[in-house]
Amino acid sequence: MKKVEAIIKPFKLDEVKEALQEIGIQGLSVTEVKGFGRQKGHTELYRGAEYVVDFLPKVKIEVVLADDMVDAAVDAIVGAAKTDKIGDGKIFVSPVEQAIRIRTGESGDDAI
Ligand SMILES: Nc1ncnc2c1ncn2[C@@H]1O[C@H](COP(=O)(O)OP(=O)(O)OP(=O)(O)O)[C@@H](O)[C@H]1O
């Protein structure tokens, strides 16, 4: 199993969620975060307003999935989140050792 973490522009959340559902993702977590990339200290448009602060509001999506779903998930996220403007975000992929569905006790791929 792998965890795909995507940090995206907040207004892209619905599109990214739908793209992930289309490839069969059945669960994910969303967190409001703030951060910066290489454009630290530069302006960025966010909902029509120009921000000149270091930390811009972003949304982090976390989805744990089977190894063979990673490429499709990354493609879905990139396809939905890309605007070709600075600050489109990043995707990180990391290994996950175990997953357990609390209600049933199922584990591994059966739990995700
Ligand atoms: N190395 C990193 N580790 C953790 N979070 C990061 C990292 N780089 C970027 N982020 C997060 O991703 C968000 C979006 O990054 P951003 O797209 O601005 O990166 P960038 O490298 O400047 O790319 P671009 O040139 O397309 O703007 C940041 O606001 C921050 O929350």
Amino acid at 51: Y
Over residues 48-71, the pLDDT tens digits come to: 777 666 788 999 999 999 999 999
Contact 9, 39 (CB under 8 A): no
The amino acid at 57: P
Cβ-Cβ contacts under 8 Å for 82 (sequence gap 6 or more): 88
Residue 24 carries which DSSP code? T
- 43-54 pLDDT, tens digit per residue, is 667 777 776 667
Nearest C-alpha to atom 14 of ligand 1 is from which residue?
Answer: 89
Q: Report pLDDT digits (tens) over 20-29.
A: 999 999 999 9
Atom of ligand 1 nearest to the CA of 38: 22
What residues line ligand 1, using a CB cutoff of 6 Å? 7, 33, 35-39, 56, 58, 86-90
With bands split at pLDDT 50, 70 and 90, how would you rate the model's confidence at 15? Answer: very high
Where does the pLDDT of residue 42 fall: very low under 50, low under 70, confident under 90, or very high at 90 and above?
low
pLDDT at 73: 98
User: Would you say residue 30 has pLDDT above 70?
Assistant: yes
Q: How far is the CA of 5 from the centre of ligand 1 (A)?
A: 12
For residue 3, what pLDDT is reported? 98
Entry pTM: 0.89
Q: Are 13 and 63 in contact (CB under 8 A)?
A: no
Report the DSSP pairing between strands 56-65 and 49-51: unpaired
User: Ligand 1: which atom is nearest the Cα of residue 36?
Assistant: 29
